Amino acid sequence: MSSNAARVAGRHFLQIPGPTPVPDRILRAMDMPTIDHRGPEFQKLGKRVLEGMKTVFKTANPVIIYPASGTGAWEAALANVLSPGDKVLMFETGHFATLWRNMAIKLGLHPIFIESDWRIGADADALEARLREDKAHEIKAVCVVHNETSTGCISLIPEVRKAIDNAGHPALLMVDTISSLASIDFHHDEWGVDVTVSGSQKGLMLPPGLSFNAVSDKALAAAKTSTTPKLFWSWEEQLPHNEKGYFPYTPGTNLLYGLAEAIDMLHEEGLDNVFARHDRHAEATRRAVRAWGLEVLCREPKYYSSSLTAVLMPEGHDADAFREKTLNHFDMSLGTGLTKLSGRVFRIGHLGDTNDLTILGALSGVEMGLSVAGVPHKKGGAQAAMDYLADCARGTLSAAA
């Protein structure tokens, strides 16, 4: 049965910073009959993904999987280790850090929110200074977004861990990796993270619908004294079932088939190669932005994201009007500006199952879109990216160049 809409030839370019395009191989892996989630066939799948996700988070400790979006994993992280009235220290990296703060308030926690202009990652010095002031150790956790999806700024988690240690503070370190896991290198154990939050629909190349908590021994100990009400999110409910390869509720079976395939794909490419690929595409994108004469929102190079690039619009030009023109003429979706950045930025996603030609196609679409929308810019951004990627292929440049 046909619709009245005209068919658009070719593939849609989904260049938002998540959900990302789902590879055919993962779609085929998910295309399986539903099975008994209490039976032996599922047990093999359960053990496979529960163990496999440890290798992605780089942890020897449990990784808990929920049939939920990243918002669910946020709530699980807070609810399992904290109690109403607890203070949590957070840094305003952008829209998603703000949403996590708002959730903390709803759960009866008392967030201390260090404000910023949304153009940097979490300032480790500012976090350390605030922790040093907390002589009574009333702050129970430090919550940081590793990659702020609204701004294209990363936070340097080893620096945050060092800040907590320098302050001699016992606070838990909780990190959101929803738009960085499997795109930007992350070490749950080595970096001393207590709870890492993530989701399925970005670097893991899956549809939305799965979320994760990686947990440390310290976090598991804290969970024993938490008084926040919980059942679905409870680690205590989950872990005994997980040890046997099962879940205490009906899991997202077909998404788990896809997750098993995604884990295999990441390791077939090699995680270091995955991260280098993301670094390369991020640098190609920034070179294109600079060649257009536009400005990357992230102010300091040490905070540059390899998952996405947020681009400031010239004064007097609306980012959403440009995005609409680009979608209508070139069938490409770009990320919108969120809350404080609404209409001021557009975001180019370069994470997930993306190769050099895909990112060049996307940057060509952006350049054509700027022209069609009448946005002042210089020509040659796509060419600058092409030159860079060709140099990388010849081995004359690296992603860090």
pLDDT tens-digit readout, 238-296: 999 999 999 999 999 999 999 999 999 999 999 999 999 999 999 999 999 999 999 99
Query: Among 3.90.1150.10, 3.40.1400.10, 1.10.10.10, 3.40.50.970, what is the CATH number of 13-19+271-394?
Result: 3.90.1150.10
Q: For every residue of the chain, which 3-state class applies, written as one string?
A: CCCCCCCCCCCCEEECCCCCCCCHHHHHHHCCCCCCCCCHHHHHHHHHHHHHHHHHHCCCCCEEEECCCHHHHHHHHHHHHCCCCCEEEEECCCHHHHHHHHHHHHCCCEEEEECCCCCCCCCHHHHHHHHHHCCCCCEEEEEEECEECCCCEECCHHHHHHHHHHCCCCCEEEEECCCCCCCCCCCCCCCCCCEEEEECCCCCCCCCCCEEEEECHHHHHHHCCCCCCCCCCCHHHHHHHHCCCCCCCCCCHHHHHHHHHHHHHHHHHCHHHHHHHHHHHHHHHHHHHHHCCCEECCCCHHHECCCEEEEECCCCCCHHHHHHHHHHHHCEEEECCCHHHCCCEEEEECCCCCCHHHHHHHHHHHHHHHHHCCCCCCCCHHHHHHHHHHHHHHCCCCCCC
pLDDT band at 396 (very low <50, low <70, confident <90, very high): confident
pLDDT tens-digit readout, 303-330: 999 999 999 999 999 999 999 999 999 9
Residue 398 has pLDDT above 80, yes or no: no
pLDDT value of position 219: 98
Within this chain, domains 13-19+271-394 and 24-267 share the same CATH topology: no
CATH code for the part of the protein at 24-267: 3.40.640.10
Residue 401 has pLDDT above 80, yes or no: no
* Domain residue ranges of the chain, discontinuous segments joined by +: 13-19+271-394, 24-267
pLDDT tens-digit readout, 95-117: 999 999 999 999 999 999 999 99
- Binding-site residue numbers are 347
- Binding-site residue numbers for substrate are 347
